[in-house]
């Protein structure tokens, strides 16, 4: 599921009365937004525990990452509505929309979130939440929800499916251990053609009966097969490694994700850390298959030579390209990636890795002289750290 258009944000406005209320209450809401987010999830999962068991990522809930993501999303969007100088959170909303369609989220689920979120605001802020304040923040939510709903319908339509109809039966036809921590799977099913860099949501039923979903980048495939590489770091990846074998059937969704290799003549710079190499492998495979004439630079950092799970695959793909430079850094050897040592001027840059890695690379790029700045920078995150989008 993919379209080149982005969610429409700037055309959406609050009424003058609601804008004044949101502007006046934004500081206190902002100060308490993480408490509000925690309260919201506690309320919603108490009322509908099946959402935590079957849809939401229990690992992100336990770590608090999902709560932070919601807090950042709402606060950032509300700020845009009342401050004309605030950055447009279009990339944040695009990322959320893609994650939603990869989970099969539909319009009828938005009122559930609205009711529990507004109840959480009222509980945390108490008497400060007058009927007028509640109405104004309800308007913020529904503007944001409306933008997401509209864009998600467009994404579903791009693959010719009804909203929510993205889950497919997937048969495991290959399972290969790449390293002690990374396993590669080939899934066979009635899929749609993935864009280079996209992911699929894999669903498994765990021993306690919960159905949990996780997103894994598609490192190669077509409408009949998706190949993924999974690092063992949580309950779903452990279950896949220990309990799922060749011949077994699991769930997988149609491909989604906004980190997609652009069709361009500009140089392509791929930057990754650890298992963040997976979307880059998908991009390299596409470039090799299409015998691109583009300049390609791949920069990768890993903890050790042994932990670079996809080194062989990456080197093989790079070897198929006429103009590809591959640079690696091994942290155990004290090596670091230095973006400024390479020519990024006018290039399309794609980054995937952990939070600290991503922030360091973004800071490195931002410090480049204007003439050395890339034409575009796109990135994917390991966890829902949506506050990094802007």
Which residues are catalytic, by number? Answer: 110, 152
CB 215 within 8 A of CB 59: no
Instruction: Give me the phi and psi of 380, to 5 degrees please.
Output: -125, 150
Query: Is the distance from CB of 284 to CB of 225 less than 8 angstroms?
Result: no
Residues with Cβ within 8 Å of 83's Cβ and at least 6 positions away in sequence, in order, are none
Closest among 286, 282, 348, 284 to 319, alpha carbons compared: 284
Tokens of 389: 């989008």
Q: What DSSP line would sit under 281-331, residue for residue?
A: HHHHHHHHHTT--S-EEEEEEES-TTT-TTHHHHHHHHHTSTTEEEEEEEG
Run of H or E residues at 34? helix 33-47
Distance CA 238, CA 172 (A): 16
3-state helix, strand, coil in the chain (%, to 5): 45, 20, 35
What is the total residue count of the chain? 390
């Amino acid at each position: 599921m993919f379209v080149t258009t982005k969610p429409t944000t700037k055309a959406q406005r609050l009424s003058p009365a609601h804008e004044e209320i949101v502007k006046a209450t934004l500081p206190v809401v902002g100060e308490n937004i993480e408490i509000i987010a925690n309260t919201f999830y506690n309320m919603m999962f108490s009322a509908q525990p099946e959402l935590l068991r079957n849809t939401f990522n229990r690992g992100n809930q336990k770590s608090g990452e999902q709560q932070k993501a919601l807090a950042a999303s709402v606060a950032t969007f509300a700020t845009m509505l009342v401050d004309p100088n605030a950055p447009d959170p279009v990339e944040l909303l695009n990322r959320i929309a893609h994650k939603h369609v990869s989970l099969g989220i539909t319009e009828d689920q938005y009122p559930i979130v609205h009711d529990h979120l507004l109840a959480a605001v009222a509980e945390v802020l108490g008497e400060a939440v007058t009927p007028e304040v509640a109405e104004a923040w309800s308007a913020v939510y529904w503007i944001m929800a409306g933008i997401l709903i509209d864009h998600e319908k467009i994404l579903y339509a791009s693959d010719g499916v009804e909203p929510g109809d993205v889950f497919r039966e997937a048969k495991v036809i290959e399972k290969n251990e790449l390293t002690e921590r990374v396993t590669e799977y080939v899934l066979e099913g009635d899929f749609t053609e993935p864009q280079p860099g996209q992911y699929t949501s894999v669903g498994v039923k765990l021993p306690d009966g919960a159905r949990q979903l996780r997103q894994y980048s598609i490192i190669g495939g077509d409408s009949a097969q998706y190949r993924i590489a999974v690092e063992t770091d949580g309950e779903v990846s452990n279950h896949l490694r220990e309990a799922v074998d060749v011949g077994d059937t699991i769930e997988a969704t149609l491909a989604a994700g906004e980190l997609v290799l652009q069709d361009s003549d500009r140089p392509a710079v791929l930057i990754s850390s650890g298992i963040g190499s997976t979307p880059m492998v998908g991009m390299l495979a596409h470039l090799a298959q299409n015998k691109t004439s583009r300049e390609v630079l791949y920069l990768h950092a890993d903890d050790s030579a042994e932990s670079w799970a996809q080194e062989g695959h990456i080197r093989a793909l790079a070897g198929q390209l006429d103009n590809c430079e591959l640079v690696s850094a091994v942290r155990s050897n004290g090596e670091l990636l230095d973006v400024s040592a390479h020519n990024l001027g006018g290039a399309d840059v794609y980054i995937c890795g952990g939070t600290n890695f991503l922030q360091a690379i973004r800071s490195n790029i931002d410090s480049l002289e204007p003439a050395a700045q890339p034409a575009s920078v796109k990135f994917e995150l390991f966890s829902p750290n949506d506050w990094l989008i802007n």
